Amino acid sequence: MAKGGKVAKTASKNNPAQRKKGIVQKLYGDKSVRPVKYIDRTVGAEYMAAQYDNGSIVEDKNGNPLKWSNI
């Protein structure tokens, strides 16, 4: 590098301001939902389910947790 030259700044891969840009939120019933891991030890079920932002699990019409792949 030449003496006194400026070094080009590169964007940090670990910059929190750069994270989660361009991610489209999934909606269920006009409310945004996020994926959570659902584990039911009584039935032996373990899968990714949907959860509202307030913390409640999204349920289908039968009262069962809705799988993330079904949204």
Tell me how many domains the chain contains. Answer: 1
Note the Cα 23 to chain centre separation in Å: 9
The residue ranking higher by pLDDT, 56 or 14, is: 56
Strand (E) or helix (H) holding 34? strand 31-40
Burial of 33 by CB count in 10 Å (0-12 exposed, 13-18 middle, 19+ buried)? Answer: buried
Confidence of residue 49 (pLDDT cuts 50, 70, 90): very high
The per-residue pLDDT for range 17-31, each reduced to its tens digit, is 777 666 667 888 889
Q: What are phi and psi of 43, to 5 degrees?
A: -100, -25
Supply the pTM of this predicted model.
Answer: 0.61
Q: Is residue 34 part of a domain?
A: yes
Q: Is residue 2 part of a domain?
A: no
Distance CA 52, CA 50 (A): 7
For residue 45, the enclosing domain spans 30-70
Q: Is residue 56 part of a domain?
A: yes
The residue ranking higher by pLDDT, 38 or 19, is: 38
For the chain, helix, strand, coil in percent to 5 are 10, 35, 55
